[in-house]
Amino acid sequence: MGPPTYMGSVVDQMVIMHYGTVISLILLFYLVFYGFLAALFSFTMWAMLQTLNDEVPKYRDQIPSPGLMVFPKPVTALDYSFRVSDPESYRGYVDDLTKFLKSYDLEEQKNLTACPDGALREQKGPTYTACQFPVVSLKGCSGVEDPEFGYSTGNPCILVKMNRIIGLKPQGKPRINCISKGEKTATLSTYPSNGTIDLKYFPYYGKKLHVRYLQPLVAVQVAFNTTSTGKEVTVECKIDGSPNLRNQDDRDKFLGRVVFKITMHA
Partner 1 sequence: MAQKTPEIYSVELSGTEDVGKTDTGDGKEKYRGLKDKRLELKKNHQKEELKKEVDLEDHKLSIKELERKYGTNIVTGLSSTQAAELLARNGPNALTPPKETPEIVKFLKQMVGGFSILLWIGAILCWIAYGIQYFNDKSSSLDSVYLGCVLALVVILTGIFAYYQEAKSTNIMASFSKMIPQQALVIRDSEKKTIPADIRLLSTQGCKVDNSSLTGESEPQSRSCEFTHDNPLETKNIGFYSTTCLEGTATGMVINTGDRTIIGQIASLASGVGHEKTPIAIEIEHFVHIVAGVAVSIGILFFIIAVSMKYYVLDSIIFLIGIIVANVPEGLLATVTVTLSLTAKRMAKKNCLVKNLEAVETLGSTSIICSDKTGTLTQNRMTVAHLWFDNQIFVADTSEDHSNQVFDQSSGTWASLSKIITLCNRAEFRPGQESVPIMKKVVVGDASETALLKFSEVILGDVMEIRKRNRKVAEIPFNSTNKFQLSIHETDDPSDKRFLMVMKGAPERVLEKCSTIMVNGQEQPLDDSTAEAFHTAYMELGGLGERVLGFCHLYLPADKFPETYSFDVDTVNFPTSNLCFVGLLSMIDPPRSTVPDAVTKCRSAGIKVIMVTGDHPITAKAIAKSVGIISANSETVEDIAKRLNIPVEQVSKRDAKAAVVTGMELKDMSPEQLDELLTDYSEIVFARTSPQQKLIIVEGCQRQDAVVAVTGDGVNDSPALKKADIGIAMGIAGSDAAKNAADMVLLDDNFASIVTGVEEGRLIFDNLKKTIAYTLTKNIAELCPFLIYIIAGLPLPIGTITILFIDLGTDIIPSIALAYEKAESDIMNRKPRHKKKDRLVNAPLAIYSYLHIGLMQALGAFVVYFTVYAQEGFRPSALINLRVEWEKDSVNDLEDSYGQEWTQYQRKYLEWTGYTAFFVGIMIQQIADLIIRKTRRNSIFQQGLFRNKVIWVGIASQIIIALILSYGLGSVSALNFTMLRPQYWFVAVPHAILIWVYDEVRKLFIRLYPGSWWDKNMYY
List contacts with partner 1 (CB under 8 A): 22, 25-26, 33, 37, 40-41, 44-45, 48-49, 51-52, 55-60, 62-63, 66-69, 74-78, 161, 163-166, 204, 206-208, 210, 213, 249, 251-255, 258
Nearer to partner 1, 62 or 226 (CB): 62
- Which amino acid is located at 182 in the chain? G
C-alpha neighbours within 13 Å on the C-beta side of residue 173: 6
Q: Are 217 and 161 in contact, with CB atoms under 8 Å apart?
A: yes
Nearer to partner 1, 36 or 85 (CB): 36
- Which amino acid is located at 241 in the chain? G
C-alpha neighbours within 13 Å on the C-beta side of residue 221: 22
Nearer to partner 1, 165 or 220 (CB): 165
Provide the edge-to-edge strand list for the sheet that holds 175-181. 79-83, 257-265, 232-240, 175-181
Please report how close the Cβ of residue 65 comes to partner 1 at its closest, in angstroms. 9
Nearer to partner 1, 63 or 223 (CB): 63
Cα–Cα nearest to 256, from 118, 86, 89, 66: 66
Nearer to partner 1, 69 or 115 (CB): 69
Question: Which residues are CB-neighbours of 76 under 8 A, at least 6 positions away?
Answer: none
Please report how close the Cβ of residue 194 comes to partner 1 at its closest, in angstroms. 23
Please report how close the Cβ of residue 154 comes to partner 1 at its closest, in angstroms. 25
Please report how close the Cβ of residue 79 comes to partner 1 at its closest, in angstroms. 10
Nearer to partner 1, 68 or 219 (CB): 68
- Reduced to 3 states (helix: H, G, I; strand: E, B; else coil), residue 24 is helix
Please report how close the Cβ of residue 42 comes to partner 1 at its closest, in angstroms. 10
Please report how close the Cβ of residue 166 comes to partner 1 at its closest, in angstroms. 6
Provide the edge-to-edge strand list for the sheet that holds 157-162. 68-71, 157-162, 217-224, 186-191
